[in-house]
Structure 1
């Protein structure tokens, strides 16, 4: 299995420039207590490149690519610019089982049973005011070619904006925002689904559901079972003591202040991790103000 995955990844590296189709990122689970997966990846901008196409090709989120390269125009990057591609990361603090979604980093992790692997996908989540819930749940249902029933609030807004009624049920097809595949969380209204708008991946753009590229949700649909555990968390600060002695951090932008009123992400666990070191504390606070989403090593005392 491992040899097959390595061969597939080599094929993508060699021939991937001919297509911008999304391809799952597959990593070996780290040994021992390590949380570090992936390697540092850079890309030299060519004429005509733009971030949306590059994010699809590298299978990373659009906002993640912007955060990693804050001084680069995402629509007209200059030819010859060296971009940081966020393909190295720390695993979230969660049981390595089933699906784990970290809202802060807009990523979905899938840990297949009985395999030392993790599959990582960029996702879109709920926009402000239509928050994706933080829950421990499970896949309650799998649907191919799902229909969509727009909520009453959306139908009313559509009538106000367009002067006509919106259909009560949208059948499968190009106008269906769920795409071709959907996975329901328990018996709730929340889904992990495809999309007919590829720009929504790696953004906060949905009505609360989890969006994935068409190729990614199709793979997930065919490779997970009903009953698979799903854990949705918000962890903007990820940390790891690595076996080689490094102290690694990876910091993402928390969700809106409105949704996190009174919530302090600089927790006692963070303070203990840096051993209350003032220099390291300042670094983390600075990164929270302008997070890059890249893994970095804290200076050792």
Structure 2
């Protein structure tokens, strides 16, 4: 299981802004086939000049949380030069239609399926923190804004004021704007949520936002230029993904479920609840239950074979 002491450590790092790093890559692009397994495993050595895990995550277009889950015990500041790291570059597509934008909160990933093309763009994202959760929803991109102006909601201004960190009523475009250079607006109920950039790279791949979806600067620019207004958006929460592939292999991919309370976040985390569909998949004949148990325990976020059909 992902060590929760590390989760608290990461939260502290984010609060004090110590995790730096620069975004040097854009989306990972995968061809689509009949199955849901995409990509292949990748392993790299930490270079002699080192670098933080965030810098390495940005280089290979994955999130910080995903890198930590795939490499337990690695120092996020100074991974040891020469150490071999696993890049979580193989994954199972979520069990939803391949259309428009799909955001799986549990994975901290955004998928974009361009219409008429047999490929998918995959981006690491930051999502809402505990108490400011990003909701599950089905919506559309209703507008796009380059150089967005940020008008902090009253609730966020009150929260910052209570912490002795008052916010202005309006933040113009520029380096101090937390929305970055591009924003796409989604309607939801009587409110709205944004898919936007950031002026703080460390927030990507973690739960640090007030509910919006946060991407690294080059990622949001690429996505912004591809996605038309009206594109459907589906936000889901699937911590356990399964698939039977055309070659007969049966796979499972397990992520740590999102904590919904501060007690869960500070303690042992949210319980992992398996859906009826996943239970039936696991109980299929010829499943290696020892491998399943290990996957459910480790929650590495990487797909593993649990049997053959």
TM-score, scaled relative to structure 2: 0.84
Contact (CA 8 Å) 1:183, 1:191: kept in 2 or not? Answer: yes
**Cα distance in 2, alignment partners of residues 131 and 161 from structure 1:** 20
CA shift, 1:149, in A, is: 1.1
Structure 2: gaps (5+ residues) = 1-21
1:15 matched residue in structure 2: none
2:237 matched residue in structure 1: 234
Contact (CA 8 Å) 2:129, 2:207: kept in 1 or not? Answer: yes
Alignment deviations for residues 86-135 of structure 1 (CA, whole Å, 9 cap, x no partner): 11111000100000000000000000000101000000000011000101
Match of 2:86 among 84, 87, 104: 84
State the SS of the aligned residue for 1:110: strand
Contact (CA 8 Å) 1:126, 1:209: kept in 2 or not? Answer: yes
1:209 matched residue in structure 2: 212
Match of 1:155 among 134, 154, 157: 157
**Cα distance in 2, alignment partners of residues 280 and 185 from structure 1:** 42
Contact (CA 8 Å) 1:237, 1:249: kept in 2 or not? Answer: yes
Match of 1:224 among 219, 222, 227: 227
2:6 matched residue in structure 1: none
**Cα distance in 1, alignment partners of residues 143 and 197 from structure 2:** 15
CA root-mean-square deviation? 2.3
State the SS of the aligned residue for 1:65: helix
Match of 1:53 among 45, 52, 55: 55
CA shift, 1:156, in A, is: 2.5
CA shift, 1:79, in A, is: 1.6
**Cα distance in 2, alignment partners of residues 264 and 298 from structure 1:** 18
Which portions of structure 1, spanning 4 or more consecutive aligned residues, are displaced by more than 6 angstroms?
Answer: 259-264
Match of 1:116 among 81, 103, 118: 118
State the SS of the aligned residue for 1:189: strand
1:281–1:208 Cα change, 3 Å: farther
Contact (CA 8 Å) 1:24, 1:120: kept in 2 or not? Answer: yes
Structure 1: gaps (5+ residues) = 1-18
Match of 1:271 among 254, 258, 279: 279
Match of 1:131 among 130, 133, 138: 133
CA shift, 1:283, in A, is: 4.2
1:100 matched residue in structure 2: 102
Paired residue total: 280
Aligned ranges 1:239-250 → 2 under 5 Å: 239-250=242-253
TM-score, scaled relative to structure 1: 0.86
**Cα distance in 2, alignment partners of residues 81 and 189 from structure 1:** 44
State the SS of the aligned residue for 2:106: helix
Contact (CA 8 Å) 1:20, 1:54: kept in 2 or not? Answer: no
Name which of structure 1's ranges 198-207 and 262-271 shifts more when overlaid on structure 2.
Answer: 262-271
